[in-house]
Homo-oligomer: A and B are copies of this chain.
Amino acid sequence: MFAYVKNKFVDYNQAFIHIDERGFKFGDGIFDTIIVNNYNLYQWDFHHNRIVKGLKSIKLKGDISGLKQIATKLLRKNKLANGLIRLSISRGVGSQGYLPETTKPTIVMQAMSAPELNSQMANLFLSNYRRIPSCCIPVSAKTMQGLCSTLARTEAVENDCYDALQLSINDKIAECSSSNIFWFKDGKLYTPSLKCDILPGSIRSAVIRLSPWPVIQGEFLIDHLQNAVEIFITNVAVKALSVKRIKPLNKIYTHTEVATKINSLLQLDIEEATRGKN
């Protein structure tokens, strides 16, 4: 497999960056993961917009033109028609301390197969780690600051759960360590609004666009899930994955109809959006 590192396509095993890369020293950069279908990037405009906004929010300047062309070339070189593109933009090499002294970002790209979709309903663990608030770092950007998610996901797995449900520091339902959350109640879909310090996920955005039910974005306490009929989580790897239980809460959710419908709408949208472009 080939990867793209700093203007070059290189063998994955030779895909290296320098130890003084700020992405390594300080997690100083952003990344993104994009669905690939038929050699095409699904929702590229959404991702590109999030990348540009993200870079602006962390004050990372520098040339990032040609990302789509690089991704397409990488997929062709790897003969990977379907899967995921993972893209990182780190602030670059240089500067001993926190103050950036470089405007040459390092672009890294990888092409990879999509993981197998889960066929079982997922258990979530109500995390002890809160999401980082937006008064500390930009949270609408998919930054390399992944320790909070790493610790929450680890804690979830230690508790025999698939993922962690994390609250904001204001006790509102926020998101999972690597996915957004939706729930169905009274004929409507509910999901935390961007005020809850969540990442605006690309599948979250697609679900809001495609849902045949009204979608209410708001600020909700955990109690709001008590009378939900169905819960599911979303990201580019799992699409919409149904939730069975949120430990240590006792309620068991059994319905999967809404997630099933959303998944079929997503699949149609992906096919439609990527048809025949290549």
* Chain A residues packing against B (C-beta within 8 Å): 3, 5, 15-28, 31, 58-59, 88, 90-91, 96-100, 108, 110, 112, 115, 129-133, 135-137, 143-154, 157, 169, 177-178, 237
10 extra interchain contacts, Cβ-Cβ under 8 A, other than A19-B110, A97-B153?
A16-B19, A17-B19, A19-B108, A27-B147, A28-B147, A129-B136, A133-B133, A136-B148, A136-B169, A137-B151
Given A27-B145, A144-B24, are A100 and B150 also a contact pair (CB < 8 Å)?
Answer: yes
B27 touches A31 (CB 8 A): no
- Find chain B residues with CB under 8 A from A90 CB: 24
| Cβ–Cβ contact A24 & B26, under 8 A | no
With A98-B153, A150-B98, A154-B100 already in contact, the answer to whether A144 and B19 are too (CB < 8 A) is: no
A115 with B99, Cβ < 8 A, contacts A24-B21, A132-B132 known: no
9 pairs of A and B residues whose beta carbons are closest in the complex: A27-B27, A26-B146, A16-B16, A98-B149, A24-B24, A15-B19, A98-B153, A132-B136, A130-B135
B26-A150 in contact (CB<8A): yes
Number of chain copies forming the complex: 2
Q: How far is the CA of A112 from the CA of B19 in the complex (A)?
A: 14
| Chain B: minimal CB distance from A144 (Å) | 5
Q: Is the CB of A147 within 8 A of B143?
A: yes
Q: With A88-B25, A96-B115, A157-B99 known to touch, is A136 a contact of B144 (CB < 8 Å)?
A: no
Q: How far is the CA of A133 from the CA of B90 in the complex (A)?
A: 24
Interfacial chain B residues near A28, Cβ < 8 Å: 27, 146-147, 150
> Can you name 22 A-B residue pairings with CB atoms under 8 Å?
A15-B20, A16-B19, A17-B24, A19-B88, A21-B24, A24-B24, A24-B144, A26-B27, A26-B147, A27-B27, A27-B144, A27-B147, A59-B154, A97-B178, A98-B178, A99-B153, A99-B154, A100-B154, A130-B136, A135-B169, A136-B148, A169-B169
Q: Do B133 and A27 have beta carbons less than 8 Å apart?
A: no
Nearest B-chain residue to A157, judged by Cβ: B99
Q: Complex Cα distance A88/B136, Å?
A: 23
User: What's the nearest-Cβ distance from chain B to residue A3, in Å?
Assistant: 6
What's the nearest-Cβ distance from chain B to residue A67, in Å?
A: 16
B99 touches A151 (CB 8 A): no
Q: Is A147 within 8 A of B157, CB to CB?
A: no
A24's partner among B88, B143, B145, B169 (CB-CB below 8 A) is B88
Cα–Cα, bound, A31→B20 (Å): 13
In the bound complex, CA of A15 to CA of B144 (Å): 21
Q: With A and B bound together, what is the CA distance between A27 and B24 in angstroms?
A: 6
Contact residues in B for A5 (Cβ distance below 8 Å) = 19
- Min C-beta distance of A13 to chain B, whole Å: 8
